[in-house]
């Protein structure tokens, strides 16, 4: 198991490097000159060139990438940064604050949204998924299935605005602006964010449960006279929930990212609104830092899920150990099963 | 000239080629049984027809030109409009927006944009992603390693985030939007096609074809790929929904189609400040997005059941 974890950690390294390389390349090729943007409109070309040199933007591509990762020392010292690995990519062009400072400050707000949404969706999805599967083709099943389908089809930002229209404009129950200090105000964003994950988890629980419930050992359990409740909740559920756990795990990362739209709709001060603001203001260091940060969080969460997955299902653990030897990635297998 | 065709040999034609038509009928019978999927198909066909006929239904200049006197005309209002020097009465079926523009007209033209985006990006993703995946699965070796590691990296960045980063870097334009969504939809197809090719390439009928002297390209195109199509078709349908949603999301954030060009996402973004005064400008474009995505999802589910009965419990 430990060997497996170490292996997975090492597999993360090329992915991290690749992601940073892509993000850096995108910024590098993006049109528009940050030095010119920072200077007044009537700045002379020499001034722009000087600033560019001071910021290190006139160096070759790979050297700039190296600076991006490991830091940069400018001559005057005013454009120093310690690089991505030290969580320092310099200061925002707009607010002049360290970009990662802003991100780390607001990250807990986004985590609050994502974790609440996740908790809500698990609480709703698993019972309804099981109910739907154990009463396949009943009226309950049809309603749950249709709602889940609508849930995966509804655009989150539109759902958010519709909730604002109903609950803030018409009924005046919840505020339309959300702030982390007021838990009442984050009800609507949490509902918005939870809709998709609830729908996905419900579908997953239902189909997984349907698959398990047809297996021989369930028939055996019934045949030996076990109460139906016991069969469903003790025998079937344990196995049925394994793929659901994977999906839940993969969604944690997606929720953190999906918060971008929800946060925008509710003007919630999270990491998503940082990014959208930064994009609108062409605040390059802030954009880069937010994208890389979110991608890293996503990668780490997925890694944790992968490990957790091997932990809860002894069968998978055996499979992993085998695939360890054959050199195939564990996540691929886990996802395939899901 | 059948007498000169060497294929007219006594043994049966390879499975990949012949099976196709028969299995299509079989597939259609199964697909038709799923009423929801058929409904989804009908909805998508309606959207495609509307998108194709958009110019005939509403003139593009009319729905992008301001009609200030009719600002926020409620649903179903018939109002006087001055257009092209003539005065006439126009029925605002879904009301008018903050510039007095016909909301339904903008949705109709938005449908065209969305359909084009959905179709183009998925064709791009299937062609490039599928090609890379097929090559990786069939030939293996260093090529496979490079392609699959690249795919891992692309998959490590969440879709919408990656698309956002691409458009933010290259600037918001129609081409960049297509590129961003196309690139982010690509890795799924690489994995999918590679996995299917790996499953098929060592089967007897492929070996038989190789024994008859068929080249790699022929085997890949005629025997291997046709047997890998089912999951690709399902994924392409679901991917279409995803692409349309991504385009709307990016446009909503101001990074996609720019106003005054009509697009569902930017309509919602423009209507957002008027949620109290004119909720209809928010409701209808959202409904349009939701119905089309729902329809594609229904078709996708139906296709999965019809194409791969093994998956159905």
Judging contacts by C-beta atoms under 8 Å, the chain B residues touching residue A264 are 252-253
Q: Please, which pLDDT band fits residue A149 given cuts at 50, 70 and 90?
A: very high
Asked whether the beta carbons of A236 and A147 are under 8 A apart, the reply is no
Nearest CA of chain A to the CA of B294: how many Å? 5
Judging contacts by C-beta atoms under 8 Å, the chain B residues touching residue A193 are none
- On the question of pLDDT at A326 being above 90, the answer is no
Q: For each successive 10 residues of chain B (313 residues), what is the average pLDDT?
A: 46 52 76 90 96 90 82 85 79 88 92 95 96 93 91 85 88 91 94 91 88 89 87 92 93 89 93 91 95 95 78 43
Burial class (CB in 10 A: 0-12, 13-18, 19+), A222: middle
Give ipTM to 2 decimals. Answer: 0.84
Nearest CA of chain B to the CA of A164: how many Å? 9
Q: What's residue A321's pLDDT?
A: 59
Average of per-residue pLDDT across A263-282: 90
Q: What's residue B14's pLDDT?
A: 54
Q: What is the pLDDT of residues B253-286, one digit of tens each?
A: 988 898 889 999 999 999 999 999 999 999 999 9
**CA–CA separation, A208 and B311 (whole Å):** 11
Helix (H) and strand (E) counts for chain A? 15, 0
Looking at the DSSP bridge assignments, the partners of residue B78 are: B91
Residue A260 tokens read as 């971008």
Q: Does B277 touch chain A (CB under 8 A)?
A: no
Q: Which residues neighbour A288 within 8 Å (Cβ) at sequence distance 6 or greater?
A: A23, A24, A27, A68, A89, A99
**CA–CA separation, A145 and A209 (whole Å):** 14
Average of per-residue pLDDT across A116-120: 94
Q: What is the pLDDT of residues A46-92, one digit of tens each?
A: 888 888 888 878 888 888 888 888 888 777 667 778 888 778 888 88
| Nearest residue to A291 (alpha-carbon basis) of B160, B176, B121, B182 | B160
Q: Which of B253, B269, B279 to mutate to test the interface with A (most CBs of A within 10 A)?
A: B253
Interface contact flag, B272 A161, Cβ < 8 Å: yes
Asked whether the beta carbons of B265 and B248 are under 8 A apart, the reply is yes
Q: What are the distances in angstroms from CA B239 to CA A149, A199, A210, A332, B180? A: 15, 18, 26, 20, 14
**CA–CA separation, B298 and B242 (whole Å):** 13
Dihedral in degrees, nearest 10, Cα atoms A155, A159, A161, A167: 180
Number of residues that make up chain A: 338
Backbone φ and ψ of B6, nearest 5°? -70, -15
**CA–CA separation, B244 and B267 (whole Å):** 14
| Nearest residue to B260 (alpha-carbon basis) of B111, B116, B97 | B97
**CA–CA separation, B259 and B270 (whole Å):** 8
Interface contact flag, A279 B253, Cβ < 8 Å: yes
Q: What's residue B310's pLDDT?
A: 56
| pTM of this structure | 0.86
Mean pLDDT of chain A: 84
Candidates B150, B156, B169; nearest CB to A26: B169
Residue B259 tokens read as 């106003």
Asked whether the beta carbons of B274 and B256 are under 8 A apart, the reply is no
**DSSP 3-state assignment of A150?**
helix
Candidates A149, A165, A291; nearest CB to B161: A291
Cα angle B120, B125, B128; round to 5: 120
Asked whether the beta carbons of A83 and A67 are under 8 A apart, the reply is yes
- On the question of pLDDT at A4 being above 80, the answer is no
Top pLDDT among A148 and A313 is at A148
Q: Does B80 touch chain A (CB under 8 A)?
A: no
Q: What's residue B236's pLDDT?
A: 94
Looking at the DSSP bridge assignments, the partners of residue B79 are: B90
Q: Does A167 touch chain B (CB under 8 A)?
A: no
Interface contact flag, B252 A261, Cβ < 8 Å: yes
Candidates B169, B294, B313; nearest CB to A29: B169
Neighbours of B310 (CB within 10 A): 6
Q: What are the distances in angstroms from CA A335 to CA A94, A246, B63? A: 41, 8, 46
Nearest CA of chain A to the CA of B250: how many Å? 9
Which secondary structure element, helix H or strand E, spans residue A162, and what is its range? helix A156-163
Q: What's residue B22's pLDDT?
A: 65
């Amino acid at each position: 198991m430990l060997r497996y974890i170490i292996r997975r950690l090492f597999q993360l390294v090329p992915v991290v490097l690749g992601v940073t390389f892509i993000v850096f390349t995108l910024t590098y090729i993006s049109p528009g000159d940050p030095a010119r943007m920072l200077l007044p409109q009537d700045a002379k070309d020499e001034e722009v060139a000087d600033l560019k040199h001071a910021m290190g933007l006139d160096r070759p591509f790979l050297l700039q990438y190296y600076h991006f990762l490991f830091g940069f020392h400018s001559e005057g010292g005013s454009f120093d940064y310690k690089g991505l690995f030290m969580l320092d990519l310099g200061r925002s062009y707009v607010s002049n604050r360290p970009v990662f400072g802003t991100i780390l400050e607001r990250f807990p707000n986004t985590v609050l949204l994502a974790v609440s949404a996740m908790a809500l969706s698990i609480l709703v999805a698993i019972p309804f998924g099981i109910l739907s599967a154990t009463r396949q083709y009943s009226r309950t099943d049809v309603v749950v299935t249709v709602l889940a389908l609508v849930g995966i089809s509804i655009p989150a930002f539109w759902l958010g605005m519709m909730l604002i229209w109903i609950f803030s404009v018409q009924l005046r129950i919840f505020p339309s602006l959300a702030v982390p200090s007021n838990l009442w105000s984050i009800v609507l964003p949490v509902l918005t964010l939870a809709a998709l994950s609830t729908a996905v988890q419900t579908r997953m629980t239902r189909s997984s449960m349907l698959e398990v419930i047809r297996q021989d050992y369930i028939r055996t359990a019934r045949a030996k006279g076990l109460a139906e409740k016991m069969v469903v909740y003790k025998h079937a559920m344990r196995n049925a929930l394994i793929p659901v756990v994977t999906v839940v795990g993969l969604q944690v990362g997606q929720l953190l990212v999906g918060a971008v739209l929800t946060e925008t709709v509710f003007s919630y001060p999270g990491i998503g609104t940082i990014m959208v603001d930064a994009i609108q203001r062409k605040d390059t260091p802030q954009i880069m830092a937010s994208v890389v940060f979110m991608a890293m969080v996503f990668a780490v969460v997925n890694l944790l899920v992968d490990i957790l997955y091997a932990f809860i299902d002894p069968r998978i653990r055996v499979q992993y150990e085998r695939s360890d030897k054959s050199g195939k990635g564990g996540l691929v297998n886990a996802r395939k099963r899901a | 000239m059948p007498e000169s065709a060497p294929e007219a040999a006594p043994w049966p034609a390879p499975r990949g080629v012949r099976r196709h038509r028969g299995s299509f009928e079989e597939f259609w019978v199964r697909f038709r049984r799923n009423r929801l999927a058929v409904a989804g198909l009908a909805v998508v066909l309606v959207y495609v027809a509307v998108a194709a006929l958009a110019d005939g239904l509403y003139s593009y200049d009319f729905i992008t030109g301001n009609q200030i006197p009719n600002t926020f005309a409620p649903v179903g209002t018939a109002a006087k409009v001055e257009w092209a020097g003539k005065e006439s009465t126009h029925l605002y079926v879904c009301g008018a927006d903050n510039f007095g523009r016909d909301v339904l007209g903008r949705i109709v033209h938005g449908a065209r944009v969305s359909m084009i985006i959905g179709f183009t990006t998925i064709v791009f993703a299937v062609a490039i992603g599928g090609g890379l995946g097929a090559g990786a699965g069939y030939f293996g070796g260093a090529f496979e390693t490079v392609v699959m590691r690249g795919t891992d990296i692309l998959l490590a960045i969440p879709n919408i985030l990656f698309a956002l980063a691409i458009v933010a870097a290259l600037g918001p334009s129609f081409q960049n939007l297509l590129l961003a969504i196309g690139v982010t939809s690509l890795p799924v197809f690489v994995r999918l096609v590679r996995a299917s090719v790996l499953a098929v390439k060592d089967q007897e009928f492929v070996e038989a074809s190789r024994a008859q002297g068929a080249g790699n390209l022929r085997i890949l195109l005629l025997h291997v790929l046709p047997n890998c199509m089912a999951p690709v078709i399902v994924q392409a349908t679901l991917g279409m929904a995803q692409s349309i949603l991504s385009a709307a999301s990016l446009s909503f954030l101001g990074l996609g189609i720019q106003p005054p060009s009509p697009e569902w996402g930017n309509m919602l973004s423009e209507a957002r400040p008027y949620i109290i005064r004119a909720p209809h400008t928010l409701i209808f474009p959202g409904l349009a997005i939701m119905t089309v995505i729902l329809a594609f999802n229904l078709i996708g589910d139906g296709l999965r059941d019809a194409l791969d009965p093994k998956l159905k419990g």
